[in-house]
Amino acid sequence: MTLVATTSAVWSGDEIRSADREYVIHSWSKQSGPNAKLISGAKGSWFWDSEGKRYLDFQSQLVNMNLGHQHPRLVAAIKEQADRLCYVGPGFAESSRAKLAAKLAQITPGDLTMSFFTTGGAAGNENAVRLARHVTGRQKIVARYRSYHGATAGAMSLTGDPRRWAAEPAVPGVVRMFDPYTYRCPAGHPDPCPVCTGGPHLEEILQYENPYEVAAVILEPVTGTNGLIYPGEGYLQSIRDVCDKYGILLIFDEVMAGFGRTGELFACDHWGVVPDILVTAKGLNSGYVPLGAVTVSASISDWLRNNKFWGGLTYAGHPLACASGLASLEIMEDEGVVANARLQGERLDAGLRRLEQTHSSIGEIRGRGLFYGLELVVDRRSRRPLTPFNAVGDAALPMSRLVKAAMERGLFLSANNSIVRLTPPLVITADEIDHALGILDDVLTIADSYYE
Ligand code: PLP
């Protein structure tokens, strides 16, 4: 039977799933997997499928839905903008776009001033790096191994995680450094550790690369996808100092960690370190319409007033996206969303510390706000991970069993490389945190069963 695809056609669940399977290419997957779940609705921290089964979204989808699903004020702001003006090209002044840029200048740290709007995080990082190259007249970029910066050619070349391999040969000019991953320090964590301190390791790399050829250092102040890694006190400042010494620009990718996720408006606010370029997306508008922003320092803003910006997108500053961004920032202020992230984060932290007493597979708990990771091990003393790095097939089974069991119990989690990521919407309630902890208590027994 041929399906008629019109907006008014009513399809059954099976028909939707079959068209999805036949015609939609899904990210990061073989296209021969089982039927994807059909999601029929969502509200707040929950979504549900066509069978009516409800899931607590402890992932905020792709760690973007900070305000949860279907926030009525956010939906209304998009509708209001759609009624008024859906689109006008980026060369014109437009109300929501101008207001959002002005708001970002007001709330971002330090002297960050002008913003270029993009359609998401990868496009933000592409443009940040391009701009850094133009402003400095230099080509090399230093990026870290345990990073994810997006899936376009340039952003994937900056990315250290193994998803990069399929995109190689990469865009040239990227030099890599290690991360301040104290739990598994690549330098063995001598005291003092040059890698985990940041500056000494960067300085060493720069001596081999010629610091005056390096345009920028790009890093996630708190590493998201690749491990929920929080730097120690002084790390970001020591990187900032080395950048300043050689005239290198510092780019913070806060696509995942920004807008309250870590319990401060921006992750870098925890340490009071200001980048030259801040890249944001996801939580900027909770992903209701694709949006990202590249916000630059006063001195880069001055440079841009005298030099051409060689970058552009048809949808740069899309009015629907900007209207949702502006509304989202207002909602965050009005509803005390960052304070709630801190409060519920404390509850989550306390609950996880309790679970640590009874689940031997918990090697380390890392987090602040509602940006947590549980690193799972088969032996606490040797810290041997539950699954080998970048495990596939049977080797990845312990983690995939745990995530699947959580889903069966109505808890939507994500995990890779032995790290379970706990990143619920910032509007989550205390009862919902307790509900998730109850399910975690149950499914962590799967990880415990591999303990040696
Ligand atoms: N940077 C970071 C830190 C991210 O976590 C992501 C996505 O997860 C990106 C960039 C890419 O963003 P997008 O998928 O919107 O291009």
* ipTM of the shown complex: 0.99
Say what the pLDDT of residue 1 is: 56
Q: Where in the chain is the domain with CATH 3.40.640.10?
A: 72-335
Q: Mutual orientation of helices 121-136 and 298-306 as an angle, nearest 10°?
A: 70
Which segments of the chain belong to CATH 3.90.1150.10?
14-70+337-449
CB 271 within 8 A of CB 236: yes
Ligand 1 and 281: CB distance under 6 A: yes
Give the Cα separation of 13 and 36 in Å (integer): 11
Pick from 262, 267, 421, 431: which is nearest to 341 by CA? 262
What's the CA gap between 40 and 47, in Å, rounded? 8
Predicted confidence at residue 35, as pLDDT, reads: 79
**How high is the pLDDT of residue 149?**
98
What CATH number does the domain located at 72-335 have?
Answer: 3.40.640.10
Q: Do β-strands 214-219 and 277-280 pair in parallel, antiparallel, or remain unpaired?
A: unpaired
What is the C-alpha separation between 214 and 195, in angstroms, rounded? 19
Q: Which numbered atom of ligand 1 lies nearest the CA of 281? A: 15
φ and ψ at residue 206, rounded to 5 degrees: -65, -30
**DSSP H or E segment with residue 245:** helix 235-246
Pairing of strands 292-296, 114-118: antiparallel
- What does the pLDDT read at residue 437? 98
Taking 70 as the pLDDT cut, the residues of the chain under it are 1
Contact 149 CB / ligand 1 (< 6 Å): yes
For ligand 1, say whether the CB of 256 is within 6 Å of any of its atoms. yes
Is the Cβ atom of 121 under 6 angstroms away from ligand 1? yes
- Between the CA of 357 and the centroid of ligand 1 the distance, in Å, is 34
> What's CA 147's distance to the chain center, in Å?
10
CB contact at 8 A, 261 and 426: yes
Whether 371 lines ligand 1, by a CB cut-off of 6 Å, is no
Cα atoms in the 13 Å half-sphere on the side-chain side of 62: 11
Using a 6 Å cutoff on CB, does residue 150 contact ligand 1?
yes
Phi, psi of 365, deg, nearest 5: -110, 125
From the CA of 132, how far away is ligand 1's center (Å)?
19
- How many angstroms separate the CA atoms of 75 and 72, rounded? 5
* Ligand 1 within 6 A of CB of 144: no
Considering the domain 14-70+337-449, what is its CATH architecture? Alpha-Beta Complex (3.90)
Among protein residues, the one whose CA lies closest to atom 12 of ligand 1: 121
Q: Positive or negative, the Cα torsion across 446, 384, 178, 195? A: positive
Q: Please tell me if the CB atom of residue 211 comes closer than 6 angstroms to any atom of ligand 1.
A: no
Query: Six-digit token pair at 52?
Result: 């009516």
Estimate the crossing angle of helix 319-334 against helix 72-84, to 10 degrees. Answer: 150
- The Cα-based distances of 414 to 50, 64, 72 in angstroms read 21, 13, 27
Predicted local distance difference test score (pLDDT) of residue 116: 98
With the most atoms of ligand 1 within 8 angstroms of its CB, the residue from 65, 118, 149 to mutate is 149
φ, ψ (nearest 5 deg) of residue 422: -115, 100
Instruction: Measure the CA–CA gap between 158 and 153, rounded to whole angstroms.
Output: 9
CA 149 to ligand 1 center in whole angstroms: 5
Q: Distance between CA 118 and CA 450 in Å, rounded?
A: 44
The two structure tokens encoding residue 400:
């995939």
Pairing of strands 384-385, 277-280: unpaired
Which two tokens mark 176? 């890599």
Q: Which residues contact 272 (CB under 8 A, 6 or more apart)?
A: 109, 237
Determine the pLDDT at residue 421: 98
Q: How far is CA 310 from the centre of its chain?
A: 26
Helix (H) or strand (E) holding 432: helix 430-448
